Amino acid sequence: MIGGGALRLAARPFVFLGLLLAAACIAAPPTTPVGAQSLALEVHAESIPLKLDDREARQVGRLIWRGGLSLTAKSSNFGGWSDLYVTPDGRQLRAISDVGGWFTAAIDYDKAGDLTGLSDARIGPLHGLDGKPLVNKAWADSEGMARLPDGSWLVSFERHHRIWHYPTLDGVPVPLNDPPDIERQPDNGGIETLTALPDGTVIAISEEYREQRGAVVGWIGKPAGEGRYAWQKFQYDTIPDFHPTAIVQLPDGAFATLERAYDVVRGVRVRVMRFAAEQLKPGAMVKPEELAFLASPYAVDNLEGISVSKGPRGETLLWLISDDNFNPVQRNLLLLFELAL
């Protein structure tokens, strides 16, 4: 999560700076959870172009545009989407919010297999160890999610840094044995980047915790029995201003990550990255390569979640979702790209 937010038209930041600051002052996350049970939700999805000044644009870097949506709903709890999971067949999505909520939906496509909307949505709260919905922001700041091979979930939290194991997203969690030094992360710079591999191995990367210049700390967690993990560190190479926010394993075994930067002059910028699986070893330095750079006038906001699915022709599809910080000048975007060969 970042403070403030990106302007919808970040190409003209000075024009809108006053609006941004005013909105940041009045924007506030909900003070109550969704409720004890999940609720049906009607999500309004407005189609957006890849590029504001060229509605015919269809590619940025190695990503081919397959549709984008700006999402709204009549719920004070709808927003803050900080991570994303799309089923391998691309039919369903699940997302978590940095105020301790989740939502699910079916994904709708046109005849060409491009993204057109969402349906059959539901929203609900994440629960604490006591079975009650998370309310206090200090404890509800869920940032990363990983689906384990048995269908259960890991969720990472900032502020009170920890990873909890959920049997289902609406279930009661149990705590994990956390990675070493997890408590040394900055308050608002914890584990946003989280995924699980088919063998149950967990990959987690801190947004801001560093043990050396030019890199942030990551952890590889190998299942050690009885719900425990054996953790080992690696380093993830970064460039100034950019921090990792999401990770997913691609069908070829490589990994895709998101890196985000923000300031009030240039707005939000996002790098979509890739690195080979062979780089991911204990003690190693992961050096990703850039697949695409997203900044205005391209479709972009505070992108914090990434997922992958297969398209109707067997193509690899990358999904990105943004966190609007409950700020009226930001958007909850759901973007779909095909990874070019």
What tens digit of pLDDT does each residue of 209-231 get? 999 999 999 999 999 999 999 99
- Could you tell me the two tokens for 104? 């699910």
DSSP lists the bridge partners of residue 94 as 85, 104
Q: Are 123 and 78 in contact (CB under 8 A)?
A: yes
Percent of the chain with pLDDT over 70: 91
275/288 Cα distance (integer angstroms) = 5
301/77 Cα distance (integer angstroms) = 19
Task: Look at residue 34 in the predicted model and tell me its pLDDT.
Answer: 76
pLDDT tens sequence across 43-87: 999 999 999 999 999 999 999 999 999 999 999 999 999 999 999
159/245 Cα distance (integer angstroms) = 15
Q: Are 57 and 49 in contact (CB under 8 A)?
A: yes
Q: How confident is the model at residue 36 (pLDDT cuts 50, 70, 90)?
A: low
SS3 180: coil
What number of other Cβ atoms are within 10 A of residue 295's Cβ? 17
List the strands of the sheet with 285-286, edge to edge.
191-196, 202-206, 215-225, 228-237, 285-286
Rg of the chain over Cα atoms, rounded to whole angstroms, equals 18
Task: Look at residue 1 in the predicted model and tell me its pLDDT.
Answer: 57
DSSP lists the bridge partners of residue 204 as 194, 219
Sign of CA dihedral 205, 208, 212, 215: positive
Residue closest to 331 by CA, chosen among 321, 339, 340: 321
pLDDT tens sequence across 125-184: 999 999 999 988 899 999 999 999 999 999 999 999 999 999 999 999 999 999 999 999
- Could you tell me the two tokens for 131? 């079975």
Q: What angle do CA 326, 331, 333 make, to 5 degrees?
A: 125
Residue 297 preceded by cis peptide, ω within 30: yes
207/188 Cα distance (integer angstroms) = 9
Q: What is the DSSP string of 112-177?
A: TS-EEEEEEEEEEE-B-TTSSBP-SHHHH-EEEEEE-TTS-EEEEETTTTEEEEESSTTS--EE--
12/265 Cα distance (integer angstroms) = 9
pLDDT tens sequence across 2-14: 554 443 444 444 3
Neighbour-count burial of 239, counting CB atoms closer than 10 A to its CB (0-12 exposed, 13-18 middle, 19+ buried): exposed
Counts of helices then strands in the chain (DSSP H, E): 2, 24
Provide the whole-model pTM: 0.92
How far are the Cα atoms of 242, 250, 331 from residue 300, in angstroms, in the given order?
Answer: 15, 22, 9
pLDDT tens sequence across 79-110: 999 999 999 999 999 999 999 999 999 999 99
Topology (CATH) of 13-339: Neuraminidase (2.120.10)
